Structure 1
């Protein structure tokens, strides 16, 4: 959290877009640090995916 406070987010979080819904699958600690710092937005990479790909990431 200190590094995000001092230099900002270096690596964006990864988000899957499945049928109009968004699911975070990489970067939960960075996301939590942003929330604790009171930030209202975060850089992310959005990847369109199928339900099958989402299920694979959830296993």
Structure 2
């Protein structure tokens, strides 16, 4: 639905939550959702978006190590 509405902010939030939920059971899917969420929030420069991008980048970095 969020893709259809072209609502990238709420889609990124949903993907981040989905990635968190999948982290323990499907690391690959979790990583893909985090990558997509990170790419979506790059278009925003407000403090919430910057914090979210940092969380996502950190989680992606931690899963690669």
Greater share of strand: 1
Greater length-normalized contact order (CA 8 Å, ≥ 6 residues apart): 1
Q: Which has the higher helix share?
A: 2
Query: Which structure has the greater CA radius of gyration?
Result: 1
Shared fold per TM-score greater than 0.5: no
TM-score (norm 2): 0.31
TM-score by length of structure 1 reads 0.33
